[in-house]
Structure 1
Amino acid sequence: MKLAVVGGGSTYTPELIDGFARLRDTLPVTELVLVDPATDRLELVGGLARRIFAKQGHPGLITTTSDLDSGVAGADAVLLQLRVGGQAAREQDETWPLECGCIGQETTGAGGLAKALRTVPVVLDIAERVRRTNSDAWIIDFTNPVGIVTRALLQAGHKAVGLCNVAVGFQRKFAKLLDVVPADVHLNHVGLNHLTWELGVRLGGPDGEDLMPRLLAEHGDAIADDLRLPRAVLDRLGVVPSYYLRYFYGHDEAVRQLRTKPSRAAEVAAMEKELLAMYGDPALDEKPALLGKRGGAFYSEAAVDLAASLLGDGGGAVQVVNTYNNGTLPFLADDAVIEVQARVDRTGAVPLAVPALDPLYAGLIANVTAYEDLALETALHGGRDRVFKALLAHPLVGQYAYAEALTDRLIAHNREHLAWA
Structure 2
Amino acid sequence: MKLAVVGGGSTYTPELIDGFARLRDTLPVSELVLVDPAADRLELVGGLARRIFAKQGHPGKIVTTSDLDAGVEGADAVLLQLRVGGQAARQQDETWPLECGCVGQETTGAGGLAKALRTVPVVLDIAERVRRTNPDAWIIDFTNPVGIVTRALLQAGHKAVGLCNVAIGLQRKFAALLQVAPGEVHLDHVGLNHLTWELGVRLGGPGGDNVLPRLLAEHGDTIADELRLPRQVLDRLGVVPSYYLRYFYAHDEVVRELGTKPSRAAEVAEMERQLLAMYGDPALDEKPELLAKRGGAFYSEAAVDLAASLLGNGGSPVQVVNTYNNGTLPFLADDAVIEVPARVGHGGAVPLAVPELDPLYAGLIAHVTAYEDLALEAALRGGRDRVFRALLAHPLVGQYDYADGLTDRLIAHNREHLAWA
TM-score (norm 1): 0.99
- Contact 1:316 1:345 survives alignment (8 Å): no
- The 5-angstrom pairing of residues 311-322 of structure 1 reads 311-314=311-314, 317-322=317-322
User: Does 2:99 align with 1:90?
Assistant: no
2:363 maps to which residue?
363
Return the alpha-carbon distance in structure 2 between the equivalents of residues 316 and 232 of structure 1.
Answer: 35
- Contact 1:130 1:137 survives alignment (8 Å): yes
Instruction: Show CA shifts across 1:96-138 (max 9, x none).
Output: 0000000000000000000000000000000000000000000
| Secondary structure in 2 matching 1:83 | coil
2:81 maps to which residue?
81
- The 5-angstrom pairing of residues 13-162 of structure 1 reads 13-162=13-162
Give the CA deviation at 1:316. Answer: 6.7
| Secondary structure in 2 matching 1:37 | coil
One-letter code aligned to 2:46: G
Return the alpha-carbon distance in structure 1 between the equivalents of residues 73 and 205 of structure 2.
Answer: 39
Return the alpha-carbon distance in structure 2 between the equivalents of residues 338 and 102 of structure 1.
Answer: 25
Give the CA deviation at 1:355. Answer: 1.5
1:396 maps to which residue?
396
Name the % identity: 88
Give the CA deviation at 1:312. Answer: 1.5
2:203 maps to which residue?
203
Return the alpha-carbon distance in structure 1 between the equivalents of residues 81 and 226 of structure 2.
Answer: 25
One-letter code aligned to 1:348: G
1:169 maps to which residue?
169
2:300 maps to which residue?
300
- Contact 1:33 1:64 survives alignment (8 Å): yes
Return the alpha-carbon distance in structure 2 between the equivalents of residues 187 and 260 of structure 1.
Answer: 36
One-letter code aligned to 2:412: A
Return the alpha-carbon distance in structure 2 between the equivalents of residues 66 and 316 of structure 1.
Answer: 33
One-letter code aligned to 2:40: D
- The 5-angstrom pairing of residues 258-273 of structure 1 reads 258-273=258-273
- Contact 2:305 2:315 survives alignment (8 Å): no
One-letter code aligned to 1:102: C
1:9 maps to which residue?
9
Q: How many residues align?
A: 421
Stretch deviating more after TM superposition (87-96 or 313-322):
313-322
Give the CA deviation at 1:313. Answer: 4.8
Q: Compute the RMSD of aligned alpha carbons.
A: 0.7
One-letter code aligned to 1:93: D
| Secondary structure in 2 matching 1:244 | helix
2:387 maps to which residue?
387
2:420 maps to which residue?
420
**4+ residue runs of structure 1 moved beyond 6 angstroms?**
none
One-letter code aligned to 1:204: G
Instruction: Show CA shifts across 1:147-172 (max 9, x none).
Output: 00000000000000000000000000
- Contact 1:34 1:64 survives alignment (8 Å): yes
Return the alpha-carbon distance in structure 2 between the equivalents of residues 343 and 84 of structure 1.
Answer: 31
1:245 maps to which residue?
245
Return the alpha-carbon distance in structure 1 between the equivalents of residues 324 and 364 of structure 2.
Answer: 18
Q: Which runs of 5+ in 1 are unaligned?
A: none
Return the alpha-carbon distance in structure 1 between the equivalents of residues 230 and 119 of structure 2.
Answer: 34
- Contact 1:4 1:34 survives alignment (8 Å): yes
Return the alpha-carbon distance in structure 2 between the equivalents of residues 382 and 224 of structure 1.
Answer: 40
Return the alpha-carbon distance in structure 1 between the equivalents of residues 343 and 372 of structure 2.
Answer: 24
Return the alpha-carbon distance in structure 1 between the equivalents of residues 22 and 74 of structure 2.
Answer: 24
One-letter code aligned to 1:273: R
